[in-house]
Structure 1
Amino acid sequence: MTQASTIDSGEIEKFQAMAAEWWDPNGKFKPLHML
């Protein structure tokens, strides 16, 4: 029995790219850090 993957590689790439910038307190996620 083979299972189909539900992982969207495009979404993985998108969030991996964001991860590098997430911890920058002055980056584009600054408003979230201010909460």
Structure 2
Amino acid sequence: MSETPKNMAASLRGRLTNRARERKENAQLLMTRYV
């Protein structure tokens, strides 16, 4: 099992940004949907 990230917010933001880039979507819109 992997370790818990030290900076959870940065980790989550990075994962959402990468997912938005892969899907060619607006990262801000994806983050808003997640919240």
* TM-score (normalised: structure 1): 0.39
Q: Give the greater-gyration-radius structure (CA).
A: 1
* TM-score (normalised: structure 2): 0.39
Is the helix fraction higher in 1 or 2? 2
